[in-house]
Structure 1
Amino acid sequence: MEKQPEQTSKKLSREAWSAHYEAWSMSGESQSSYCKRHDLKYATFCYWRTQLKCHSAQAKSNFETLDVKSTPQVLPGIRIHLPNGIQLSMPLSPDLSTLRSVLELLGVVSC
């Protein structure tokens, strides 16, 4: 941002101070050095820096909180329909010993 002697720091708009604040933060200069180079009052710059930081924090906090309700997840599984009408449902990767025991209890003969 170029030095504009016709504008004193008292007459700058919020937008102009915002532009100065952004230019300073990207410049890597100290605040006092930036103010001297742009003919700005250091105390006024500090005031606007605080105002702009607070405004920025308020703008970020204007989001509303959404309640997201989770729906039960349907996992893929195995469903076995036996000739006697019994149906067996279990996870896709069951414990084999448990599956074997259940099938034996149901009277299913293994091959």
Structure 2
Amino acid sequence: MAALEKIQEKTFWPIHIEHWQASGQSQAAYCRQHDLCPQKFGYWKRKSTVKPTTSPTGFTRIRVDEGISPDLAIGLSLRFNDGTRLEGITQDTMSCIQPLLELLR
């Protein structure tokens, strides 16, 4: 397979997988409608890193800073990729966190 065909295939399938997830159709129905090979579709679906955008899992990756001494840390701290930080999250302030996170999204 030529290099250009490989590149096209790597962009073609993820786009179809994303559209299928948004369509609400079964995989078979989507493949029939778009004249796609169901086996190739299944292969690329398994290989794909595309996540469904309609139903987030609620999980995220976290990293624990090893250099912080437990007796110096006051509550939980969250640092987001854009540089935003939430510090001092304790059991007493936990009820404020969910609405605050919703606002920041």
Shorter-normalised TM range: 0.3 to 0.5
Using the size of structure 2 for normalisation, the TM-score is: 0.44
Which structure would you say has the larger Rg?
1
Using the size of structure 1 for normalisation, the TM-score is: 0.41
